[in-house]
Every structure is written in structure tokens, then in C-alpha cells.
Structure 1
Amino acid sequence: MKTCLNCGTSNLDTAKSCQQCGTELETKPKTTSRSKPTIKSHSPEELVEALKLTAEILAKRQADIMFVLDCTGSMEGEINAIKETIMEFADTIEKDGVRVRVGLIEFRDRLINEEHRVLKINGEVFTNNPNLFRQEVSKLKAYGGGDAPESSLDAVMFALRQPFDSDSNKVIVLITDAPPHIPDQETQNIEEVVREIQTVGIDQFYLVIATQDTESKVYLKLLSGVKGMAFDLGKGDDFRSRADNFKRTLMSLGKTISTMTR
């Protein structure tokens, strides 16, 4: 039905004029015009602020990486590999847009009075200068260790107490060819370490261990509730061969860390 706008009378759809007052009826419905979308222009100051915000977001991709390294007599190849590969390792991560700092704790066997120790680079635990880090690693010596198990879990607990940046991904990399002492001087069981990893809020945890060694498989429990994975350390007593294998592992590890860092 068509409604007359003059008198309000209802008329048939086919009617051209109102049957009551004779007023011509509209043949097309009124349409409302739509405003065209406008493109907002930004001032130079607004663009600068937007760029700053983008830079701040990118800067949040940061990682503090603490190596927890077995420095007993059998680990000479791995010590040399870290020294020789740390520059490439850091570059691999930073090329993916992650700002990285590195640190290292050396450990042996606390049950025979071989205490763990954190490297200090210009008095600091972490450094963003891989060259200075390399210089300090080159001073490490592979010796000691006593029996097969080492104080790796106590060393991890020590690593958890280090000054990680609250704005960075907290990353721990445990490297050892030996099973852990259970109990040790500080830790009574591996579950205690797992709880502390979760309490501290470690973001990524990596193992470089003898994955085929039955006694070393207990380390896999450390990955509970945290992003991470286990890499195989390699076999044999040929330090040079193991060092080459470990270099490749470090490069794979660097790529994994950069991918996992958010």
C-alpha cells in the first residue's frame, strides 16, 4: 500500500494519485545518502609516535640466556665449541630481531668440594657483548669431576637465582655428559628443581645431554611445564669430533631460541 503524504490515506500500490485528496503519490522510496569514508591524515608528530611504539614492541623481544656448563675433564670439546661459536650463536638470534644477553655458570662435583661459579664479564653476570663473553670462556679449564654423576641440579638452582631481566625471556641451557647427583648438597630430588623453575618463571629450558644414556634421561623432567627441548650431546672421547657436533647443536639451539622468544 502507498500512503498519501498529504492526507494519510492508504492507496493501492498501483495508484498514481490519492483517491481521497488527489495528491500525486511517490513512485520510489526515499533513499538516504551515505557519506563517503574519509581517510584520516596523520601529522608528522603522530607518525613519529607510531614509529616509537613499533620500536618499543620490537624491543620487547629480548632473551637472557644462561649456560649451565659441565666443566669436568670430559667436556673440553664443548668448552672449546662455545668459545669458538658464541659469536655466530648470538648473531643467529639477533638477526631474527631478538636482543640477547648471555651468561655462564661452570660446575663440577660439589660432593668433592668443587663449587660451581658464575662467570663475571666486567663485573656483570650477563653481557650483550659476545666477544667479551668469548674471552672469559677461553679461560675455562676442563678438569675434575670425580665419579660419573655431577652437581648439575645444584648448578641449575644456582642459575635460577641469577639477575635475569624482568622484561626478557629467561632461558637456561644445561650442558653435561653426566647424570646428576640425587641428592646433592642443596637439592634432594629433581622435582624440587622443577618447582623452582616454575616459581622463577623460566620461559625456555634446553638440555644438551647424552640423550641415549639411561641415567641421564632423568633430566627430561626439567622440561615439565616450560617451553624447551633436549639436544643430543654426541658420543665418544674424540674432543674434536664432539666439538664439531656441539657447534652444529649450538646453531640449531640459537634458531630455536629466536623462534620461541615472544
Structure 2
Amino acid sequence: MKIKPFSTGDVNNIHLNVLIYGHAGAGKTTALGNFEDTFGKGLILSGEGGLASIADRNIDFLPFYSFDHDIDRKKHPEGYSFKELMSYVTSDDFRNAGYKWVAIDSFTELSRRAFTEATMENDNPKDGFKKYELYTQKIDPMINDLRDLPIHVVCTALATESKDENGMTNFWPMLHQKSKVEAFCGTFDVVAALINRTETAKNEDGKTKMKMHRYTLTGNVSGWHGKTRDCHGRIRVAEEGTNVASLVNRLVMNKEEFENTKRQGVAA
């Protein structure tokens, strides 16, 4: 058997795992719409039921109502468990459908459902650790399966805050078992924190107006924890707007494509 190595510089082999997190209203779901614009056909696995912000687009989605427990078909006749949806996205049918990316909206809700079901399965309520063990057995293999998909994978999550031993407020993705959060972030190539900042200013008439600015953080800024595996230094730690897809696109461009975007004023 002849073995031919791949090249780490071949952008055609690159598919990235992306986590987008922030407070409610930060633009997480809206950011998913940009992936359709940038990369083409995508599929959203939705546990939130809150896709109104991208109702102006025709993006495929499938709803999930449990992690791996059976669905009440009378209540949700067109619903699925997340386990069923993962069987689909790892199938030949999915590969042949031409999807370029898949999104989970949101991982916070998925984690909640997994923990709830793990608690229900705990046959020894006096053993407080058993439900966490069952939760880990559910969530860890699923994270690995998502990571290994041969397309871009995007997860959204709510942000939660906590104070460290120095009294500094930190903002992390919200999921059960806080001890897993940092390791969870480590599985992603891009962790993008979406934040809103408001300012007040007076116009020419002397009236006070409020203006909102949106930013994407891809580094550790003011307690937010973003990251990128950006060997070319193409992404700033703080980027204006919340178009995460455009940042991902910069990472997968070859050198000539990126230089062309700079000439056009798209990237800097």
C-alpha cells in the first residue's frame, strides 16, 4: 500500500470547529446566517426554537427535544433526539446532501438536556457523583463526534459569569459541570465571544442618543475568553461586528486569496 502524506498548508483540507458565545441578544443566532452567506448550504440543529432572527434566510434546520431519550411523538411529531440527529449528520445521506457546515444552537441547551436525562437515569440518588458520571458518558463522545466531522462545525452557547480568587469577573460558555468548560473550549479552533457596548452622545440639537457597538473577541479581553488557531495572524483580538463567518473564512484562505482581500479593503 502506497501512503501519501497530506500537507498542513493545504487549505482544501481545513475544516474548523467554532464556538460562538455571549449573553442573550448578543447576536449568536444571527451570526449563523453569515455562515450560509460565506460558505453555502448549512444545517442548524436547534434546541432553542429561537430562529426568528434568521427567518429572512432559507437555512435548513432540524429541531431536537432530548439528548438521547425517546421523544413524545404526540407532543413533537416532527422532533428528534440529538442522538438521532447525530446519526444523520454522520451518515452518507448527510454527506451526499452537500452541506458545507452544521451548527448546534445551542450547546447550553444541549448540555442542560443531557444533564437532566443523566439525573433521571441515576438509579442511586444518594450518590451525588453518579449523575455527573452519566453526563460525562453522554457528552464527551458527542463532542468528539462533532469535532471529527469533515465540514465546519459551529456551536453557540450562552455566557455565564463568575468571579475568580482575585475578584475578577470571568465570562465563560454556560454548560453543566463547570470543570469541563475550559477543556470544552480547548476542542475548538475558534472561540468567539460576542459583546455589545453602548455609548451616549449628544447630537447637533443637543439631544442625547444611545448608540450600540458590537464586537467579536478572539482573545482574553476583560474577562472574556476567546481564542483562534491563527498561525498567520489574520484576526485581531477584538474585531468590529459579529460576522464570525468572515473571520473563519480568513483562516481558511490561501495566501493569494487573503492578499486579494486586503487589496480590496476587506481584511487588514
Bin of the TM-score, shorter chain as denominator length: 0.3 to 0.5
**In proportion to residue count, which structure has more strand?**
2
Calculate the TM-score normalised by the size of structure 1: 0.36
Calculate the TM-score normalised by the size of structure 2: 0.35
Greater RCO (Cα-Cα under 8 Å, separation 6 or more): 2
